[in-house]
Structure 1
Amino acid sequence: MRWEVEEGWGVLESAAVDGPVWTHFSMIEAEGFRFLTVGDDVRFTAERAEQDSCRWRAIRVRAV
């Protein structure tokens, strides 16, 4: 995983999806300041959407 705190977006990886998955802090289901940390175990729903070099976008992202 890669997370750009200053910009509020990151790239996730999952064995269930073929390739990197882009996400934005607004897709994180959490209270307060929403961000992810490298190494976090996360669950998300992936949808097809071109964003930067990613073919997928993560929505409904939550740390577990």
Structure 2
Amino acid sequence: LTLAEGADSTATLNDLKHITDQLLVRNPSYRCTRCGFGARTHHWQCPSCKEWGTVKPLLNYAVV
């Protein structure tokens, strides 16, 4: 990605930052390894399948 110098470059970078911030907010940071429940915060007990200790942090983000 190459950008020219100037106001348009700053606007483009700000737009790109806004888009990536929105993607991170929408995507879960944790997922249950048993049922696939996704969450933004850690849960010791999965709210969906009620299993204990199955909600793990996602280490890789896949942007679709």
Q: What TM-score range do you get, normalising by the shorter chain? A: under 0.3
Select the structure that is richer in helix: 2
Bigger radius of gyration: 2
TM-score by structure 2 length? 0.21
Higher strand share: 1
TM-score, normalization: structure 1?
0.21
